[in-house]
Amino acid sequence: MSLHHLPSKANNERKEDKKKKKKKKKKKKKKKKKKKKKKKKKEEDGGRWEADEGVKDMVWLPLIWLLSILPSCILPMMETYQTITTQITKADQSTKYHHRHGTDSETQNPQTGTQQNDF
């Protein structure tokens, strides 16, 4: 046998170092696989995010308060809107009547309330 084929000590050390590195790499890959499995479990649960109790109170209480106040604000606004629209429609009807028949001061006698025609 030639000396060329016999492994040297340095060569053996290199091979051992390579084996150790491979083992370390394999361990890292196994850890990554475990992390992926944990993510899958979260997805199987539906992936829903649930807020803490404090966050729920911070959101729901002001929302409920706002909804409880809105009807008391909206009803007076609706009533004023209705009165304004009825006044506008009455004014529109009266102006249409006066345009057709003339104004009250021109056609009616203030004392008798009858129409005058001075032609």
Q: What percent of the chain has pLDDT over 90?
A: 2
Mean pLDDT of 62-86: 85
Count of positions (residues) in the chain? 119
Residue 67, in any domain of the structure: yes
Distance (Å, whole) CA 67 – CA 56: 16
- Answer yes or no: are the C-beta atoms of 119 and 112 closer than 8 Å: no
Distance (Å, whole) CA 37 – CA 44: 11
Residue 78, in any domain of the structure: yes
pLDDT at 52: 72
Residue 72, in any domain of the structure: yes
Question: Across the chain, how many H-helices and E-strands are there?
Answer: 3, 0
pLDDT at 71: 78
Is the pLDDT assigned to residue 33 strictly greater than 70?
Answer: no
Mean pLDDT of 28-50: 58
pLDDT at 28: 56
Helix (H, G, I), strand (E, B) or coil at 108: strand
Q: Which residue has the higher pLDDT, 69 or 102?
A: 69
Total number of domains in the chain? 1
Residue 41, in any domain of the structure: no
The whole domain housing 82 covers 63-90
